[in-house]
Amino acid sequence: MAHQQTVPIELFFWPTPNGFKISIMLEELAAPYVLRFVNINRGEQFTAEFLAVSPNNRIPAIVDPEGPGGKPLSVFESGAILQYLGRKFARFYPADERQRVAVDEWLIWQVANIGPVFGNNNHFRNYAETRQEYAVERFLNETYRLYRVLNQRLAGRDYVAGDYSIADMAIFGWARNWQRRGIDIATFPNVERWHDRIAARPAVARAVAVKPPVEIDIARDAEARKVLFGQR
């Protein structure tokens, strides 16, 4: 039986592709939650409070006050959070093992491939102080390859692994905003149709409409660039 949440889940969040994965899931579940903004551009991810929840100093993370056995549980890493919530609420994560394996494959594909590649594409294309053409071209080519893989997977399918699932939520957070990555989406019509189908869901629209309390232009903000790119 699906869990009925009575105390809000805390979502440690900043409006990034990984952050949106979890806000989408919680909105889809209609589960009560409260946003805890972590301004990653000002170093709030390095506070002791946040590190106690997410030792890798990355958003998102959650604290579920109604964890296993009724005791609080913190979870970091977006893929792990999606799996946990899917199991807990018995939604968007199939119980059938064959179906679950398919969802896991595409969830891990996103985490291991799309996240790192698209992140590097964005960094070298939009934020590197010295433009490095080899890096720009390398990650653009890999970005095209991954969109091509997704486009092929979606041929004849509405969603990546059977019904709408946590795999779609994870990929959507990164596959949107393709313009920033130098992608002509017309090259990938299956992806475009899939994107529009998911973007039209009311829960998704609510989730991605969340704005940060402070707008920061990373490309122009020296402090943000130092925090995000300058650690050793």
42-62 pLDDT per residue, tens:
889 999 999 999 999 999 999
Tell me the pLDDT tens digit for each residue of 139-167: 999 999 999 999 999 999 999 999 999 99
Domain boundaries 9-91+208-229, CATH class: alpha beta
Query: What tens digit of pLDDT does each residue of 78-130 get?
Result: 999 999 999 999 999 999 999 999 999 999 999 999 999 999 999 899 888 78
pLDDT computed for residue 197 by the predictor = 98
Strands (E), 72-223: 73-76
Domain with CATH 3.40.30.10 in the chain: 9-91+208-229
> 26: closest CA among 229, 206, 220?
206
Provide the mean pLDDT of the chain: 93
139 closest CA partner among 121, 154, 157: 121
Name which CATH class applies to 97-200.
mainly alpha
Which strands form 9-13's sheet, in the order they lie side by side?
33-37, 9-13, 61-64, 73-76
Higher pLDDT, 27 or 126: 27
Q: Are strands 33-37 and 73-76 parallel, antiparallel or unpaired?
A: unpaired
Quick one: which H or E segment has residue 11?
strand 9-13
Is the pLDDT confidence value at 215 over 90?
Answer: no
Q: Are strands 9-13 and 33-37 parallel, antiparallel or unpaired?
A: parallel
Residue 159 · residue 170 · CB < 8 Å: no
CA of residue 30 relative to chain centroid, distance: 18
Every domain range in the chain assigned CATH 1.20.1050.10: 97-200
pTM greater than the 0.85 cutoff? yes
User: Is 214 a residue whose pLDDT tops 90?
Assistant: no
Q: Higher pLDDT residue, 37 or 222?
A: 37
Mean pLDDT of 3-19: 95
